[in-house]
């Protein structure tokens, strides 16, 4: 790392349910112009709760200067990002939430996902899921190359860790704590998101987070990070 890089603030990119940080891959180069970029990959452990994920991030950023960390959370990572900002407010310069939510309100859907996840180990069901996901991503304008990246990442995910992250989504509700966020906050929401009602949730959060701005992307879907033309660096 050269001297110029050492003086840049940190962009802490917190992943969604995959937990790998690899779906930020198309955003890193542009961010590196102004930031040291850390796309977080959560460490493997037999069991964990939200507090332990936050503690892991806190330990990993303990050397950062006060008010220097640009925190970004995507989807499930938004829950973790909100919790990190509340736990370590002195370290944070900004918060960006991408297709995120403080509580997942589609209770039946998340309960079914938790119970049916083990069946995705069956090859036939896994192929069917991939076909459906491919059609959705293609319909949202995600290129074939970006879709291949998505599948490579998803196939590398530890399914037990994925299930535990789903359970966290099912249990956690951070809505009442949104007003405690003091950092300047950007909310990025896709209008064609089929997994999360992102625009509705972003508007909900914008009304409760004191220093927040909302950007809506009407034609984009949940995979905003992989959408052609979208650059996170244009916003943070």
- From first to last of its 236 residues, the chain has per-residue pLDDT tens of 455 567 899 999 999 999 999 999 999 999 999 999 999 999 999 899 999 999 999 999 999 999 999 999 999 999 999 999 999 999 999 999 999 999 999 877 787 777 667 655 646 556 666 677 778 888 888 899 989 898 889 888 888 899 999 999 999 999 999 999 999 999 999 999 999 999 999 999 999 999 999 999 999 999 999 999 999 999 99
Kindly report whether the global pTM for this prediction surpasses the value 0.85: yes
The two beta strands, 92-98 and 185-190, are parallel
CATH code where residue 216 lies? 3.40.50.1820
Which residues 6+ apart lie within 8 Å of 68 measured at CB? 9, 10, 91, 93
Query: Residue 215 forms beta bridges with which residues?
Result: 188
Structure tokens at 7: 């003086």
How many domains are there within the chain?
A: 1
Domain of residue 213 covers 3-234
């Amino acid at each position: 790392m050269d001297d110029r890089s050492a003086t840049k603030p940190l962009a802490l990119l917190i992943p969604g349910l995959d937990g790998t940080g690899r779906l930020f891959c198309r955003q890193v180069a542009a961010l590196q112009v102004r930031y040291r970029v850390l796309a977080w990959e959560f460490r493997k452990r037999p069991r964990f709760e939200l507090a332990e994920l936050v503690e892991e991030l806190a330990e990993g950023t303990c050397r950062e200067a006060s008010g220097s960390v640009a925190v970004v959370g995507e989807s499930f990572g938004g829950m973790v990002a909100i919790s990190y900002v509340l736990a370590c407010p002195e370290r944070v310069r900004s918060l960006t939430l991408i297709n995120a939510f403080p509580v997942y309100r589609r209770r039946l859907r998340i309960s079914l996902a938790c119970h049916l996840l083990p069946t995705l180990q069956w090859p036939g069901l896994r192929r069917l899921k991939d076909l459906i996901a491919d059609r959705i991503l293609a319909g949202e304008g995600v290129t074939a190359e970006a879709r291949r990246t998505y599948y490579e990442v998803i196939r590398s995910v530890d399914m037990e860790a994925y299930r535990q992250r789903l359970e966290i989504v099912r249990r956690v509700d951070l809505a009442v704590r949104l007003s405690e966020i003091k950092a300047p906050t950007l909310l990025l929401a896709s209008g064609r998101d089929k997994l999360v009602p992102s625009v509705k949730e972003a508007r909900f959060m914008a009304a409760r987070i004191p220093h927040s701005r909302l950007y809506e992307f009407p034609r984009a879907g949940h995979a905003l990070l992989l959408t052609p033309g979208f650059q996170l660096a244009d916003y943070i």
